[in-house]
Amino acid sequence: MMLTILTFLPLIAGVLVTLLGPDRQKLGRNLAFAASLLALALALSLWALFVNSRSGMQFVERVPWVPSLGIEYHLGVDGLGLLMVLLSALIVPFAMRASWKIENNPKLYFSLVLFLESGLFGTFTAQNFIHWFLFWELSLIPAFFLIRMWGGPKRTSAAFQFFLYTMAGSVAMLAAFLALYAATGAFDFAQLAEAAHRGGLFADHKTLAAAVFLGVFLGLAVKVPLVPFHTWLPAAYAEAPTGTAMLLTGAMSKMGVYGFLRILWPIFPEQMRAWRLPLLALAAATIVFPAAAAFAQKDLKRMVAYSSINHLGYCLLGIFAVVRLTEGSADSTNEQAAALNGVILQMFNHGLTASALFYFVGLIEQRGGALRGLNDFGGLRRAAPVFCGLMGIALFASLGLPGLNGFPGEFLIFKGALQLAPRTALLSIPGLLLTAIFLLTILQRVFSGPLPAKWNGWPDLTTGERLTVLPVMALIFVLGLFPQLLTGVANPAVMRMLKLF
């Protein structure tokens, strides 16, 4: 029951907030925040109850829904799912605090965020495709409205593009799964994976198998996003209000990577093996090109957006590297485990750091009178030292400085990838360098140098803001120094995945 409660709690809270009268804006906002904290508490208790050593799904709930079509209400979490749930539960209150000062219909804004949270929880816990798809689509609508109604000047086209791209990907995925259903009569992920393992999926129709694989791949690739399906992202992230951007990058982008691990790989191991090289090339492209693009940006928000894509590229590099070159070669298990653990760590940590970065950029924009260009500022270190310090920490974490949380993930990924896919990994290293360069550039242009006169009275972080950002900052340090907290949860799931696939 816990997972159901967790998933529906934000939904019900969101409905309640919507039903409040239009003069109760503050009450709505507070209620929504309380609900998100409650969800966080639930997620933490889930973590506490989670048994690390057991490698299968825990907290399983399974109720037939439409039996004649093989649709079930099937929930469960393993290590991976639990971490994603925790991440979402952490980011949402953070994003809410970032949007505290919204003036235009805040009640609606917060209820939409709650609906989005419900969608996230649902996606990360679902084990049956229709159930999963429902929440996947459900998360689209609030995101769309969040961008459209509270976004920047070019929000209409950004929202439209975001919706249509994602929808197109979803339709492709739906079509592919319908083909799978027609062939196997099942929508359940575990059943489908088993059927694939036994070699029963489209055994003699190579082209059909490839087409179906492509469909699912497209749907997930648009969400991550993978180059070249990423063109919707910079506009969407740039135009979205701060809190929404944090949610998008922190949690929603992880839905795509999660999908690769949970859906694409278990069901299509053959195809992934066959297409390994092109996929690795795409992953490398996703690492390098956005980094280069970020380098060329002048808008801080866009830079962080591109950097987001770049970081997720590492995750994909890890996944694609892990895919076995040949059947049954077990000797690289160590490297595979390392890479996969790294992927999961990176997912978690990037969520934290990226959202923190967006938060800080949002603060800059707020204080700077809607300015967020790279060259609009300078020497803010003198005016707001605490701000600079904390943002610097976030920047360095994003860089991958050892001791901060960005490091373990990237390290493990590369450790595995250099053995498993050496050429691609080598090609991706420039991405690391570029990332370092542009992140440091931000630090330099915005914070050091002479302080222009107009920014003399630039306020430092207020107490509220310090409190908001404190948990995340703490986690950046803690997870950087003690990544075992995460790997302890993730490793059993990783080992199980490697064994099965």
Partner 1 sequence: MPAWTIYISFLGAAFLMFLPGDDPRPARVTALLAALAGLACAAMGIIECRHHVAAGVLTDVANAPWIAELGIRYHLAADGISLVLVLLTGIAAVAGVLFSWNVENRSREFFALYLALIGGVYGVFLSVDLFLLFVFYEIAIIPKYFLIAIWGSTRREYGAMKLALYSFVGSAMVLVGLIAAYVVAGGKTFDLVELAKYPFPAAFQNWAFVLVFVGFAILAGLWPFHTWAPTGHVAAPTAASMLLAGVVMKLGAYGALRVAMTLFPIGLHTWQNTIAVLAVVGIVYGALVALVQQDFKFVIGYSSVSHMGFVLLGLMTLTQIGLSGAVLQMFSHGIIAGLLFAVVGRMVYDRTHTRDLAKLQPMNLNQVLPFAAVTFVVGCAASMGLPGFSGFIAELQVLVGAWQTFPVFAVLAAVGILVGAAYTLRVLLKAFFAEGVVDAQDLPRLQPITAPERAGTLLLLAATLIIGLYPRILMELITPSLNSPLMRPLWKAGLR
Residues binding partner 1 (CB under 8 A) = 65-69, 130, 133-134, 137-138, 140-141, 145, 148-149, 156, 160, 163-164, 167-168, 171-172, 174-175, 178-179, 181-182
Q: Report residue 492 CA to chain centroid gap.
A: 21
For residue 58, the cross-strand partners are 77
- CA 166 to each of CA 10, 134, 171, 321: distance values in angstroms, whole numbers, following the listed order: 23, 14, 9, 26
Q: Rounded to an integer, what distance in angstroms lies between the CA atom of residue 215 and that of residue 380? A: 48
Bridging pattern class, strands 58-66 and 71-77: antiparallel
DSSP symbols for 174-190? HHHHHHHHHHHS--BHH
Query: Is 259 exposed, middle or buried (CB count within 10 Å of its CB: 0-12, 13-18, 19+)?
Result: buried
Closest CA to 117 of 257, 11, 3, 230: 11
Beta carbons within 10 angstroms of residue 443's beta carbon: 17
Length of the chain, in residues: 501
> In this complex, which beta carbon is closest to partner 1, that of residue 66 or of residue 433?
66
Residue 123 CA, distance from chain mean position: 12
Alpha helix stretches (DSSP H) within 368-405 = 380-383, 385-399
For the purposes of burial, counting CB atoms within 10 Å of the CB of 204, is it exposed (0-12), middle (13-18) or buried (19 or more)?
A: exposed
For residue 494, the minimal CB distance to partner 1 (Å) is 30
User: Which spans in 240-384 are helix H?
Assistant: 242-247, 253-259, 265-267, 269-274, 276-296, 300-322, 333-367, 380-383
In angstroms, the CA 278 to CA 293 distance is: 22
Q: For partner 1, which is the closer residue by CB, 53 or 68?
A: 68
**Contact between 284 and 317 (Cβ < 8 Å):** yes
Closer CB to partner 1, residue 140 or residue 429?
Answer: 140
CB of 175 to partner 1, least distance (A): 5
Shortest approach of partner 1 to residue 69 CB, angstroms? 7
Give the integer Cα–Cα distance in Å for 213 and 196.
Answer: 12
| Smallest distance, partner 1 to C-beta of residue 98, A | 22
Closer Cβ to partner 1, 178 or 481, answer by number: 178
Burial of 472 (0-12, 13-18, 19+ CB in 10 A): buried
Q: Closer to partner 1 by CB, 180 or 356: give it.
A: 180
Query: Most distant CA pair in the chain: distance in Å?
Result: 72
Decide whether 211 or 500 has the Cβ nearer to partner 1: 211
Task: Supply the minimum distance, in Å, between the C-beta of residue 188 and partner 1.
Answer: 15
> Measured from the CB of residue 186, what is the shortest distance to partner 1 in angstroms?
12
Residue among 195 and 363 whose Cβ is closer to partner 1: 195
> Nearest approach, Cβ of 167 to partner 1 (angstroms)?
5
Pick between residue 69 and residue 433 the one whose CB is nearest to partner 1.
69
Min dist. Cβ of residue 92 to partner 1 (A): 21
> Between 7 and 491, whose beta carbon lies closer to partner 1?
7
Least distance (Å) between residue 123 CB and partner 1: 12
State the minimum distance, in angstroms, from the CB of residue 8 to partner 1.
12
9 versus 179: smaller Cβ distance to partner 1: 179
Q: In the bound complex, what is the minimum distance in angstroms from residue 133's beta carbon to partner 1? A: 5
Whose Cβ is closer to partner 1: residue 168's or residue 281's? 168
Sole residue written with tokens 């469960």: 76
